[in-house]
Structure 1
Amino acid sequence: MSGSLWLKNGTMRDTLPVVPRQRVTETPHGTPYADDPVGELADRLSALAAHAVHPDEIAAILESDGMTDDHIRLTYGRADSFALAEDIYARVERHHPRPEAAPAGPWHLGLAGCLLRGLVFALPGLAYVLGAPLLGGASITPLLAGAVAGWVWNQALSHRAYSWLGLGDPAAAARALLLGAPAGALLGSVVAFAAAGPAESPTVVFAAGQALYLGAATVLLVLGRERALLCALSPLLGAVPAFWYDLPDPVRAGLPALSLAAATAIAATTLRPGPLRRPRPGPPLAASLPYGLFGLGSGLLVLYAGAGDALVTGAGPVVALTLSMGPAEWLLHRFRSVSLARLRTLTTARAFRRAAAGNLVHCLGAYLAVLLALTAVGTLLWPGAEALGGARLLGLVLVGVVLWLGLLLQAFGAVRSAAAVCVAAAATQTLDPGSGPAVSGAAAAVLAVLTCALLVRPTAHRL
């Protein structure tokens, strides 16, 4: 068949014969083409192409594989990577994966777990109910001195162990606890002995048991064994009849001893440091010091808010503050999780500042409500508890504000500021015992300013 071409003047001339285009079945190198090279490529890229939301994503994949436009024209018969990507996009069915749920993260914590921690914080107080008659009229100064020394040491030890866990080295954390917990027990015992008078041997023995328990409890709490610690403390529930009845001295001494032995044994069996390895660079020791100082300041403020010189009758506020640490921990987690949710949804810094401030007021108010409720219940149920007057109740509330805001700043890495304020307030109240509410109020105001200055900034909440 011949082709013809009409000229402008109406004449016609013959052209070359039209030959149908033949399919090229071999590449220039002699290797055969696929019957449908685009289809074969689409099958090969189906896993990636099915998730693409635009052909340009497929074009980027092709170019990252080194496909040039010349190669695409020669092999696949398309002009360039974009044309080939559009063809593949049309051939492959869309299959977008379901979005994964947002990870819970460290700031999502169940209320039951926090309440359990608050319970194990407060149950050891029953040991004082059992042991108070055995101590007679001895001063409680050795007990308080040993307790404060234990709080300082074990707060710093907990931070160091948690730091090792954060570095992904649980064996190093276990070794730190294995060495640090007995050292803390020895320190608390020595401080109690140094503070004791010549005829206060029973108090020193009780303080040594207290120091040993603090070390064992630190091990179990850091390693997440709250339920095991609760089981170890269950013998202390035998102190409940002691609120109304006089128990025999062997029972009063035996129940705390049994609980102490159980906690120590469980902690010893829980620690498995593993084989010795070449030491790796760890967290600096100085980084744990502010946490110990925060434990010193907050512990003294709690003691001043409650017990004073009375071991049992004035301990109601201390028990309330101790029990409130469980809900306080949950509210700290809730503040962080709600703030992160607002950070994802709000679009302006001003809106986030308002939301963060409202969230802070809400969580702090909830904690104070829980604290007041626990105080009221404790005053009704605690044997011989003294009713809190207006000044003491105000002081208790202010100490609660200091504790919660201090813990919140500590959770956001501002532990030095929280420790400095708490230590200064405790030192002032030690020098002037009558300045309790004023000192606590000033500390609460300073911590409130620091908290607002730090936590209304969106950058403070980024993980």
Structure 2
Amino acid sequence: MSGSLWMPPGAHPDTLPAVPRQRTAPSWARPDPLDELAERLSDFIAAAVHPDEIAALLESDGLSDDQIRERYGVKDSFALAEELYERVERRHPEPDGPTHDPWRTGLLGCLLRGVVFALPGLGYVLGAPFLTGPRDDFDLPAGTVPLLAGALVGWTWNQGLAHRAYSWLGSGDRGAARRSLLLGAPAGALLGTLLSLAVAGTTHPSALAFTAGQSIYLAAATVLLVLGRERSLLAALSPMTAGAVLTLVHPLPDAARLVLLLGSLAVVVLLGLREVAPPKGRGAVFDLRLPPRGRDKPQGTSSRQTTMGPHPLGSLPYAVFGLATGTLVLHTALGAAPAAVALTLSMGPAEWLLYRFRSATLAGLRSSGTPRAFRRTTARTVAECLAVYLAALLALTLTTGITGVHLAGLLLLGVVLWTGLLLQSFGAVLGTTTICCVAALAQTVALVTHTGGPHWTGLIVHATAAVAQTALVCALLGRVTAHR
């Protein structure tokens, strides 16, 4: 019938025709989930130098290995990262405007820190009359053992304290850093003084007083250096420095020496106290406790970081590193005292070269297209920075007249110290601490047991440690993920 809807025989007039079922597209027509993921992350994948960077991104997005196996058919995030790395062509787009380099720093500021590290040595020139007396049981000058004990305790404690304070500063909580310094610095000074008294024996009281002053200075100077007050510390040491230089020309009375020493020490202590003192003003309270959860949280930090802070045991390897390297330096200084001065002054160029290394590797991340190319860039940068540092150390050492085996051992120790600081700056502190501890223990045992000549023993120990740490640097810092 014209105008009527045709229905199959037996169908009821009110029944609608069945809707046909949608057919499933064949597998060859469905989009590949891996291609979709590669397209979505193409910008990041294209700029990645190593698949591990992509794996880190996948894990940060919350993709578990079970989800990866179900969605993409590969066993884990690393296998997926390698697959994505192969599918996307490498490209490194240049950023708009100048590239930000957080590691760029001035040479003058680093050289100033090196000078500040070395100037306290002039205090021993002024304090020489207070360290007189018969040689001790180890055939060392009077007061040497308490001084060495106090110095080692100071280097150990203050290295760990500085790391803890820097950890607070890195999390954005300057108040917590000051609290840790306010509590930790006096504790370190007291500990150093007590240990010096414990090993004093028949040391003259004037030498013990000088040793106590040394411990107090190390604690106060750590506060100023951590909080970036190198210029204030330099100004505080100026009277003592002038007195020591004048003493080399014309001997000063003991009273004048004492006034210069105590005056500089008092100024350094007062400056340190001013940096960590409670805030002034009505109602101002300097709470030594950690801030309660969720209050006064610095921007960019988590509640757990603000409440708990860095774990104290996290600073222990850095403290042990200070003890080990301090022991190595003392062994060298006992063989040739000017060597310690050269090493201390070289810490200025060493610090600047650490920044240069970080800056160069950041540029290498942008310019290298493959992991192998980045490893070559890193190895070349390490060699260049180490060569510049050794040239600076050599120039400083030659002014002291050190030659021969002493010079070779000092340069090798310089390699140990610089590579150790480099590894420490990347958080690889356990490896370098282990190597330095073994080297310090070996040299101490050789000295106590009179095994071999002390000069040749130091040369062998330093050479072995230098080779081990250089290999560790190449193994760890050649990886792209260490620099992200």
- The answer to whether the superposition gives a TM-score over 0.5 is yes
CA distance in 2, matches of 1:375, 1:256: 27
Rg bigger for which structure? Answer: 1
Give the structure 2 partner of residue 399 of structure 1: 413
CA distance in 2, matches of 1:390, 1:306: 15
Alignment root-mean-square deviation, CA: 1.5
Cα contact 1:172–1:273 (8 A) shared by 2: no
Deviation sequence 1:366-420 (CA, Å, 0-9, x none): 001100111122x1xxxxxxx4231111110111010000000000110111111
Cα contact 1:171–1:272 (8 A) shared by 2: no
How much does 1:100 deviate? 4.4
Identity over aligned pairs, percent: 55
Give the structure 1 partner of residue 175 of structure 2: 171
Alignment of 1:50-199 (within 5 A): 99-105=96-102, 107-137=103-133, 138-199=142-203
Give the structure 2 partner of residue 258 of structure 1: 263
Cα contact 1:175–1:273 (8 A) shared by 2: no
CA distance in 2, matches of 1:139, 1:440: 28
Q: Please, which of 344, 354, 358 is the counterpart of residue 380 of structure 2?
A: 358
Alignment of 1:257-406 (within 5 A): 257-272=262-277, 275-276=286-287, 277-278=291-292, 280-308=307-335, 314-377=336-399, 379=400, 387-406=401-420
How much does 1:160 deviate? 0.5
Cα contact 2:101–2:359 (8 A) shared by 1: no
How much does 1:270 deviate? 1.1
Moved more, 277-286 or 417-426: 277-286
How much does 1:136 deviate? 0.8
How much does 1:267 deviate? 0.5
Give the structure 1 partner of residue 73 of structure 2: none
TM-score by length of 2: 0.71
How much does 1:129 deviate? 0.9
Q: Name the amino acid aligned to 1:124.
A: P
CA distance in 2, matches of 1:424, 1:236: 37
Cα contact 1:171–1:273 (8 A) shared by 2: no
Q: Please, which of 442, 445, 451 is the counterpart of residue 467 of structure 2?
A: 445
Deviation sequence 1:57-116 (CA, Å, 0-9, x none): xxxxxxxxxxxxxxxxxxxxxxxxxxxxxxxxxxxxxxxxx93433331x2221111011
Cα contact 1:298–1:426 (8 A) shared by 2: yes
Instruction: Quickly say closer, same or farther: Cα 1:273–1:427, change in 2 above 3 A.
Output: farther
TM-score by length of 1: 0.74
Q: Name the amino acid aligned to 2:205.
A: S
Q: Name the amino acid aligned to 2:397.
A: T
Q: Please, which of 421, 430, 446 is the counterpart of residue 435 of structure 2?
A: 421
Deviation sequence 1:268-306 (CA, Å, 0-9, x none): 011145543427111111100000000001111111112
CA distance in 2, matches of 1:362, 1:243: 38
Task: Tell me the matched-pair count.
Answer: 351
Kindly indicate whether residue 247 of structure 2 is the aligned counterpart of residue 242 of structure 1: yes
Q: Please, which of 415, 423, 426 is the counterpart of residue 409 of structure 1?
A: 423
**Runs of 5+ consecutive residues of structure 2 not aligned to the other structure:** 1-94, 134-141, 280-285, 294-306, 448-453
Q: Name the amino acid aligned to 1:102.
A: T
CA distance in 2, matches of 1:368, 1:203: 36
